[in-house]
Amino acid sequence: MTAEGDNSVLMQKVVKDILSHQQEGIHNMPEISDVKREQLASLNDVSSFVALKNLIYLREQVEID
């Protein structure tokens, strides 16, 4: 059993590590596969694994840049 705030603390640590690694140049940005950025917006179904993975990778790229 975990405390209610543990998940938010964990996510803050992950984001902090990603940002510090990005500044140091050791974080590799994930590649969006199989679908171009423009095609993601026009997908009718985003429930496939590849679509969800690409959306998560795209969000990381947008948030960091």
- Write down the domain spans for the chain: 1-28, 31-65
pLDDT tens for 35-51 read: 677 777 788 888 888 88
pLDDT at 3: 62
Q: Which one-letter amino acid corresponds to residue 57? A: Y
Q: How many CA atoms lie within 13 A of 43 on its CB side?
A: 17
Q: For residue 57, which of 26, 21, 23, 33 has the smallest C-alpha distance?
A: 33
pTM value is: 0.63
Sign for the pseudo-dihedral over CA of 11, 27, 31, 49: negative
